[in-house]
Chain A
Amino acid sequence: MKHQKVFNAPEIPSKTETQKIFNDYSSFRNGVPIVIDFGSKFCRAGWSTEEQPRLHFENIISKFKNRKGSSRNVVLVGEDVYTDPMGYSNIRSAFDSGVLNNFDIVENTLDYIFSTMGIDDSSVNHPILMTEPLANLYSSRKNMNELLFECYAVPAALYGIDALWAYNFNSRSNTLDKDGIIISFGNYFTDIIPILDEKPRVEHAIRLNIGGNSMPEFLLDLIKIKYPAFPSRVSEYQSRELVKNHTFFALDYKQELGSILEKKSLGDFDHIIQFPFRHISTNEKTKEELELQEEKRRENAKNLQKIAARIRQEKLERKEIEIVELQSVLDQINDLESTDSNSVRNLLRDNDFDSKEELEAEIKKIEGSLKRARYKDLGIDPNEDKEPPKLDLLEVPDDQLDQDQLKEKRKQKLIKSNLDARDRIRQAKLEEKRKQEEEIKKDLDLKTNNFEVWLKQLKDKRQSILDKIEAKNALKSELSNRRSQASQIRLRNIADLASNESNNSGSKRKRQEEFEDNFGEDDNDWNIYLDISKENLEDEEDDPEAELIQINELLFENDPEYLNSLDRMEKDKIENTILYRFYSGDQEAILEKPAVPKNSKSQGSISKNASVSSNLDNSTCSVKLEDSDVEIDEDTASNNDYNNNNGSSCPPRRSSIFSTELDEVNELIARSNQIHLNVERVRVPEILFQPSIFGIDQGGLVEAIENLWKNVPGLLPVSAKNIFITGQGFSKTPGLQDRLRKELTSILPVGTPLNIFMSTDLESDAWRGAAAWTRFLSNGANHTNYINLIEPFSISRVLYNECGSEYLKENAFSNKYHNFS
């Protein structure tokens, strides 16, 4: 077996530490700005005077009623939701398709932030710097403003685009002085913002409806359709982890596609994700235990036999007593018959008989059965010494017989014909047996004298059976299609039969009588009914499958290599198909009906002794897989012999990679719980460059940048030198920069300098950029009046009251504002 990459299905990790609640609020009381990067995927929050955010969590919450004990309502924020099963079945986000719309959730999240930061005043007396998405909806901003000013009574709020602050963090100049292009990979969108003449040109920005969230979504769709009957449910979390760990950008997508399913590279590309499954194991019984079992069984059989014999004996004895009694009655009757007919009648009536003849017949009957029983006990065939029935009347002509004799003759005739028929059948049987023996002898002769020819014949016969089975299957599938030729012939036959019948009835009958109906003269005529019936395909007189198994076993005894090579060829054929490689990767195929006969005995023992032990331990699964590498050795072969020690000569298995039938069953179960990622590994990230493969009717990333360069005069060539990547959506997928460089080079004029930078801190660059900017404003001084400092750039309470909740004060990092009033 080739080397395989097996990974365990990702699991939600258990959380080990709690978010601590900070108690150092006293050093921030003087209105130190709070920076909140409220992203659609992650949220970071902290004091602007610090280098790093205090809080960094997944921007989700979970609301549920705790059913245990108190039955209180519970709201968990961030990774806390994974600590409770009720938590992660109720995960909710404040974002709907990238639009901030659920402000109950925002409120819960902000409560969490302010509480854990230790704020114990009667209001949040700090300016808030908050990120918002590019081209944020007015309604989202309005609600946020209302929440901040009315619920938390903040003195000032300032909004900026996360991508611009991230850019600021990386340029460290605190002004947007360098022309360039920002590519920001969000969770729902990818934004491209040009910077020209020291200003972000938000009006020229371009948004792709593809983000980090699109990849797991796409992968989940692909897995669902690739393995529609997959036993475990692949969760969103798992899909995300799979994307994170197994996908990459192809440098040349088409070339990569061409090579993935090639035999030589498939092993490297194919990743197996093993999901947990139940292992089947047999309780191996020791030899003594088996013997004990056998002993017990025999004992039971003996006991049963004894009981049956006793019952039979009792019956016999009863009958013997009865016959003695009846005999004495008969003797009495015989004695009295001539003298006292009255007492004879009484005697008969007492014994429930109408006449003496009846009594005699009864005695004869019981005698007969007694005799039969005794013969049976002695093991003698009762028919053997039975004198042949009298057939003397058969030769006598009827006219010489009287009434009774005629009756007798008729009886004898019947007996005679019966006997003759029995004879004929016996003869035919003998003949058949002789023929069979002859054939076997001939077969044996051929085998001993001309082994090659014999083997060839056997192989040919095997092939012909295979052909027969295949033809049958083909016909079956043909018939399932109503338009196929086979179906049409069948329908025509039915129509013909029906029309014949209807012609024979009604007014036309007279005319038709001249037309001779000779249906049935030839036995083959009846086959038409076989032809038109679909069901009969199933149970024809002989079972080719059973015959095939017989021949296989015979062949295996004499030429095991031949069958092994057949199986190998069959496996190769399967393994060489694109679909097999796509669905099952590089693994060795397990044949459904291998030519090498299966060990039928051990299979039986599995179904008998198998006990499903719930073994959900992942580690044992993978260990198991590695074990199957081991070549079968003599040890296991002898084990096989032990398995069928009932005298049947079954050749030891050497062909299979699995030492026992059970291993194969377990491997099959393991495989049915595997997901193979091969094409998907490049197909999933490719949606960034070709959104159409995920059904998104937009140009890809490169086309968007191309459009930008075309539509914004002066952007080229300067901006090509400064292409900046931020946001976690696609940035962590390997190969992004190389691919982007290659694609951009191909559309840029020859010799244009091209530089692509990745943010140095993808996790919290936007937060740190915003914090750095406030520190730049305060010029490093520690005890400034921050509120006054921030006020010129922010929405103060006065402005909020005056301009309404939709108001946005523009700053260097913000969206644009249009006043409708």
Chain B
Amino acid sequence: MSFNSKNRNSSQKSSLIPKIEEDGDISSQTEGPLAINVLELPKPFKNPSYSNSKRIKSAKQLISAEKTRDWPSNFPTMWSIAQPPSLKPAHKYCDVTGLEAAYKDPKTNLRYHSAEIYKAIKILPPGSEQAYLSIRNANVILR
């Protein structure tokens, strides 16, 4: 399913946020005037007996659960409206520089722009070509 081909965001999120050393000045503002702590706001409008105890399911789980239902053929669902794979041949670009690539290294499967880039590819440490390939989801995934 093409939908799941890019599910990197959620997994990477936590690691990409900058971890900055605790700074006394800034963190004291939590209780200061700049930020509102939602837990301390008055919420008279809420039903006091309501409590949400549902387990949180991932997008993948939710979608595969809904897919099993008996949908009418022309009903627009999340998966039925997805754009199908391109029928046109994809343009090829150099995996290192992003320039147009006329060549492909059969050893690493990397596409490259010119002989100069090929030289650089040849001295890549073994295995590091996978990082380049993973950008366009062409890396080898061992299971």
Give the B-binding residues of A (Cβ under 8 A).
12, 15, 17-19, 21, 61, 66, 68, 70, 72-77, 80, 83-89, 91-92, 96-99, 101-104, 107-108, 111-112, 114-116, 119-124, 134-140, 143, 147, 150-153, 188, 191, 202-209, 213-214, 217-218, 220-222, 224-225, 228, 233, 235-239, 254, 257-258, 260-261, 577-579, 582, 679-680, 683, 690-700, 703-704, 707, 815-816, 818, 820
Contact = CB atoms under 8 A, between A and B. Distances in A.
29 contacts: A61-B38, A68-B28, A73-B39, A75-B39, A80-B36, A85-B26, A85-B27, A89-B17, A91-B17, A102-B56, A103-B54, A111-B41, A119-B45, A137-B63, A138-B66, A140-B62, A143-B54, A152-B47, A208-B83, A209-B3, A214-B6, A218-B135, A578-B97, A690-B90, A693-B136, A695-B138, A697-B85, A698-B82, A703-B88
A76 B36 CA distance: 6
Contact of A203 (B19, B69, B76, B82): B76
Interface in B86-112: 86-88, 90-91, 93, 96-100
Contact of B86 (A203, A204, A224, A703): A703
A220 B131 CA distance: 13
A91 B16 CA distance: 11
A80 B5 contact: no
B45 A698 contact: no
A80 B35 contact: yes
Given A15-B34, A679-B99, A122 B44 contact: yes
A815 B17 CA distance: 35
Contacts of A257: 93, 98-100
A134 B81 contact: yes
A437 B47 CA distance: 104
Contact of A111 (B27, B46, B75, B114): B46
B83 A207 contact: yes
Contacts of B135: 218, 221-222, 225, 694-695
B90 to A, nearest CB: 4
Nearest to A20: B36
Contacts of B52: 103-104, 107, 147, 151
Interface of B: 2-10, 12-14, 16-23, 26-31, 33-39, 41-47, 50, 52, 54, 56-60, 62-63, 65-66, 69-72, 74-78, 80-88, 90-91, 93, 96-100, 113-114, 116-117, 120, 131-132, 134-138
Contacts of A209: 2-3, 5-6, 82-83
Contacts of B34: 15, 17-18, 80, 83
B59 A97 contact: yes
A814 B100 CA distance: 43
Given A203-B75, A698-B86, A111 B38 contact: yes
A218 B6 CA distance: 11
Contact of A104 (B56, B63, B88, B98): B56
Nearest to A698: B83
Contact of B13 (A91, A120, A153, A228): A91
A135 B38 contact: no
A151 B46 contact: yes
Nearest to A76: B35
A115 B37 CA distance: 11
Contacts of A120: 42, 44-45
Nearest to B18: A235
